Structure 1
């Protein structure tokens, strides 16, 4: 799947899932915290679909995130080994490159991602908010994380656990990308 086209592949699965559950766009929007207009836009396949929205759809509809992303049922229940470079690319946009590290494991309670964030100017950072909690562990580069009013600089080996409902934004520092493990609950 070309990542630039991922939303075009995911959109019909979103629509099909909602139809299968006899749920209106308004119902899905209410359960996922977006406007009905935004939910309809995601279903139309005309715009990128944030991974946070997909996670909320998966939770609200009691399906696995992997099913929405890839259309394939995860099947491993005992363990799931993902070798270096094999993570399932979830979303690629100007901001982040996400790779799911547990996409084959059925019934996950958390979503671990390997995320690469490019360097950018402070004014180009986009604050996001979503439900749950988040754990970040920096692997490469230096990461700036804006968390509410605080600006934190994390070095390789540094970790941070926070409430995802706090507005947050990320960027690589020193004109280099930052790579980190991000686990969302």
Structure 2
């Protein structure tokens, strides 16, 4: 196979123009996921100790998440949403009020961050593309991954689809590991142990989470 055959048959410049820098969607850089988790937990009348029993997460970790000291990764949020009997979208980007959403490139919503278990390393940043839709069961996100040495395996209910926009992504599913380049995609059940990170310093993906 010659070099020309290895070139993806898509216009990568188009995707770079489409995504731009994830910072462009920032409006105040607010992280309210922990606050929403606490709000829903209290609405449900569930103590933090009971939530620990339901999820297997240590009480101290849950306290760090609710206080904002640790920014939960999306797999953690999905597991918490199941335990709290709440839509993951409400925890990720709050409840919507519309039947549909049109999201312009320069009108993206605030960014949330996800950190390692210790809260010391930023693992990725993401922004929701359609938080206005009420009763949604999918969460569409632009995610900027960073290279992570802390391999936090995720297992939870749901399904996930990822499409690489730029950079190189390293994806582990079960015992298999794949390097995904721009134009590559993956679809998997979230009940299979998985881990995703940037192989290059940074990588950007389109991620769709389904409960």
**Same-fold call, TM cutoff 0.5:** yes
Query: Secondary structure, in 3 states, of the residue corresponding to 2:52?
Result: helix
Asked if 1:161 is matched to 2:187, the reply is yes
Query: Secondary structure, in 3 states, of the residue corresponding to 2:63?
Result: helix
What does 1:21-170 correspond to in 2, within 5 Å?
Answer: 21-69=44-92, 73-77=95-99, 79-85=100-106, 86-93=108-115, 94-119=122-147, 124-131=149-156, 132-170=158-196
CA RMSD in angstroms comes to 2.7
Pick the structure with greater CA Rg: 2
**Which consecutive unaligned segments of at least 5 residues does structure 2 have?**
1-26, 116-121
Q: After the TM superposition, which parts of structure 1 deviate over 6 Å for at least 4 consecutive aligned residues?
A: none
Alpha-carbon deviations, 1:79-98, whole Å to 9, x = none? 11222251442324421111
Q: 1:171 to 1:40 in 2, by over 3 A?
A: closer
Q: Distance in 2 between matches of 1:46 and 1:150?
A: 32
Return the structure number with greater relative CO, CA threshold 8 A, min gap 6.
2
- Number of paired residues? 176
Q: 1:171 to 1:51 in 2, by over 3 A?
A: closer
1:179 aligned partner: 204
Alpha-carbon deviations, 1:19-60, whole Å to 9, x = none? 222211122223334233322332233322333333333344
Question: What's the TM-score, normalizing by structure 1?
Answer: 0.77
**Alpha-carbon deviation of 1:115?**
1.0
**Which consecutive unaligned segments of at least 5 residues does structure 1 have?**
none
**Alpha-carbon deviation of 1:62?**
4.2
Q: Distance in 1 between matches of 2:114 and 2:72?
A: 10
Alpha-carbon deviations, 1:129-183, whole Å to 9, x = none? 131221111111222212232221112211111232333333333x452211111
Q: Distance in 1 between matches of 2:197 and 2:33?
A: 27
1:11 aligned partner: 34
